């Protein structure tokens, strides 16, 4: 009798378990699917982000040019025939271009037609013609076919980005030019070699790249020696006491302070107390160095920790002083790890924007900086400035600048990864 009851109880339990099992397996599958979906969505965001930037930005590296037959009219360039460089420099080359366009597209142009005509060519094209004449004054009096930089509107229309940038008449001319092969697209060297400009087609990122280079140079020169020294002290020499503990807590907390607060520090200290120049890579580099310092110290300590104690004991056994142990044995072994951490810190500093806004690195600067004391922009700030511009052609430039920035970041990270692979030691 009791046996019977037990058997039924067992059967019933088995039935309930079996009934529940299906649900539990379903829940298991759901949970797993959620997990996979989370990873997939996150990586999907990355793909969308990169995809949209590349889709918008690749065309920044391409530029439209128009073939124009320019008559180097002596009446316009040099009416007195002196060939004086000052006269050649100040001549109205835009008028030559206008006349050439009118001759080609609309021989009997009135005022508004002329305005439409000059809307096809960049205002920077006059400089191009001026440079030609300055280089070779014998051109005056002849005529020659020249590829001129198109205006940003024409550029956008040919790239299919913004079809209503030009009016009906201009679109008609565009078709005519295209039919005769007088329109071409080339690699945009201006974008990589020029400084900033109000005109999208003349704007480039070289100035920002040089500014970023100077800033990172200062950052490296300041933060690497300081970071390595601090890591060595904390890991190899520091006694465990209140003071060391305070330093450690401090470093950990500094690593998490919002970067904009470092910008406030830079503004109040470096600019207002020490009167260092505004907008200069020197100040930017110093602020970035303070931001990177905790990262470098933490990475450096990890690298020092991974050097086994046997190395230190062996050196000590041969009579090396503590500093000799560190300088001759531990530090060289830890250096690859420290350098990897430093490169990663530099990569972070390269993308940092907010603190640089605080110290005035947002000015509109056309000139390429020549030293860390000249005012300049840096790459991410250039991105920010162009992103805020109302000109539609800057969308493409912004994305282009982002692509360049990301290429640098990827390169730096790759170097770090390769170094880690190449020099990693297992003890």
For other proteins, the binding residues in 314-333 under the rule CB under 8 A are 321, 323
Of 76 and 409, the one with the shorter C-beta distance to other proteins is: 409
| Residue 148 or 230 having the CB closest to other proteins | 230
Helix (H, G, I), strand (E, B) or coil at 353: coil
Strand order in the sheet with 183-187: 143-149, 62-71, 183-187
Q: Which of 10, 14, 131, 268 binds other proteins (CB under 8 A)?
A: 268
24 alpha carbon, distance to own chain's centre: 50
Cβ–Cβ under 8 Å, residues 399 and 56: yes
Least distance in angstroms from the C-beta of 61 to other proteins: 18
- Two structure tokens written together for 72: 């180097």
Between 68 and 286, name the residue whose CB sits nearer to other proteins: 286
Considering beta carbons, is residue 96 or 385 the nearer one to other proteins?
A: 385
The 8-class DSSP code of residue 241 comes to S
x-or-dash string of contact with other proteins, 349-388, rule CB under 8 A: -xxxxx--xx---x--------x--------xx-xx--xx
Q: Which of 9, 131, 176, 260 binds other proteins (CB under 8 A)?
A: 260
Tokens of 315: 């050196």
| Residue closer to other proteins, measured from CB, 121 or 379 | 379
Count Cβ neighbours within 10 Å for each residue of 386-416 and write b for 16 or more, e otherwise: beeeeeebbbbbbbbbbbbbeebbeebeebb
Compare residues 126 and 200 and give the one whose CB is closer to other proteins.
Answer: 200
Output 100 or 403, the one with its CB closest to other proteins.
403
Segment 89 to 148, residues that bind other proteins, using CB under 8 A: none
CB of 206 to other proteins, least distance (A): 19
Q: Which one of 88, 192, 217, 254 is in contact with other proteins (CB under 8 A)? A: 254
SS3 of 27-79:
HHHHHHHHHHHHHHHHHHHHHHHHHHHHHHHHHHHEEEEEEEEEECCHHHHCC
Confirm or reject binding of residue 427 to other proteins (CB under 8 A). no
Query: CA-CA distances (angstroms) from residue 180 to 80, 94, 105, 114, 172?
Result: 37, 23, 12, 21, 13
Q: Does 13 bind other proteins (CB under 8 A)?
A: no
Q: Which two three-digit tokens encode residue 395?
A: 């969308």
Pick 60 or 117: Cβ nearer other proteins = 60
d(CA 120, CA 379): 30
- # binding residues, other proteins (CB under 8 A): 87
Say if residues 348 and 292 touch (Cβ distance below 8 Å): yes
- Of the candidates 59, 64, 219, 399, which one interacts with other proteins according to CB under 8 A? 399
* Minimum distance, C-beta of residue 20 to other proteins, in the bound complex (Å): 11
Alpha helical stretches, state H, 318-378: 322-325, 331-351, 354-358
Other beta carbons less than 10 A from residue 238's beta carbon: 15
Rounded to the nearest whole angstrom, what is the least distance from the CB of residue 397 to other proteins in the complex?
Answer: 11
Among 395, 397, 400, 404, binds other proteins (CB under 8 A): 395
Question: What token pair was written down for 300?
Answer: 């450096």
Query: Which segment (91-99, 173-181, 185-193, 269-277) binds other proteins by CB under 8 A?
Result: 269-277
Which whole-number Å values give the CA distances from 141 to 70, 80, 105, in the listed order? 10, 13, 22
Out of 71, 99, 269, 311, which residue is the one contacting other proteins (CB under 8 A)? 269
- Residue 185 vs 329, nearer CB to other proteins: 329
Binding residues for other proteins restricted to 21-80, rule: CB under 8 A: 24-25, 27-28, 30-32, 34-39, 41-43, 45-46, 48-49, 52-53, 56
11 part of the interface to other proteins, by CB under 8 A = no
């Amino acid at each position: 009798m009791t046996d019977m009851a037990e058997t039924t109880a067992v059967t019933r339990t088995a039935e309930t378990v079996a009934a529940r099992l299906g649900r539990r397996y379903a829940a298991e599958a759901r949970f797993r699917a959620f997990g996979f979906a989370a990873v997939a969505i996150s990586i999907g965001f990355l793909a969308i982000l990169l995809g949209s930037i590349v889709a918008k930005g690749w065309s920044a590296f391409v530029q439209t040019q128009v073939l124009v037959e320019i008559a180097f009219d002596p009446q316009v360039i040099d009416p007195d025939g002196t060939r004086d460089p000052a006269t050649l420099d100040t001549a109205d080359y835009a008028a030559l271009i206008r006349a050439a366009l009118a001759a080609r597209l609309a021989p009997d142009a009135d005022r508004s037609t002329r305005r439409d005509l000059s809307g096809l060519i960049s205002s920077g094209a006059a400089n191009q013609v001026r440079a030609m004449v300055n280089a070779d004054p014998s051109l005056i009096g002849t005529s020659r076919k020249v590829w001129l930089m198109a205006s940003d509107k024409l550029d956008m229309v040919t790239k299919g980005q913004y079809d209503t940038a030009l009016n009906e008449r201009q679109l008609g001319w565009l078709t005519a030019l295209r039919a005769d092969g007088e329109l071409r697209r080339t690699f945009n060297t201006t974008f990589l070699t020029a400084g900033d400009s109000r005109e999208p087609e003349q704007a480039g990122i070289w100035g920002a790249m040089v500014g970023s280079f100077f800033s990172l140079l200062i950052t490296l020169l300041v933060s690497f020696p300081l970071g390595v020294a601090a890591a060595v002290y904390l890991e190899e020499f520091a006694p465990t006491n209140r003071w060391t503990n305070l330093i450690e807590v401090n470093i950990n907390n500094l690593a998490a302070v919002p970067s904009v607060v470092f910008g406030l520090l830079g503004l109040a200290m470096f600019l207002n107390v020490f009167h260092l120049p505004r907008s200069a890579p020197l100040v930017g580099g110093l602020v970035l160095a303070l931001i990177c310092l905790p990262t470098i110290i933490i990475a450096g300590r990890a690298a020092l920790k991974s050097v086994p104690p046997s190395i230190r004991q062996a050196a000590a056994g041969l009579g090396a002083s503590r500093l000799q142990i560190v300088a001759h044995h531990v530090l060289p072994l830890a250096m690859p790890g420290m350098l990897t951490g430093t490169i990663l810190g530099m990569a972070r500093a390269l993308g940092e924007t907010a603190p640089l806004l605080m110290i005035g690195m947002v000015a509109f600067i056309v000139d390429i900086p020549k030293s860390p004391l000249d005012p300049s922009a840096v790459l991410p700030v250039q991105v920010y400035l162009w992103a805020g511009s109302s000109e539609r052609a800057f969308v493409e430039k912004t994305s282009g600048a982002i692509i360049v920035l990301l290429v640098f970041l990827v390169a730096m990270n790759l170097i770090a990864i390769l170094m880690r692979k190449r020099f990693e030691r297992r003890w």
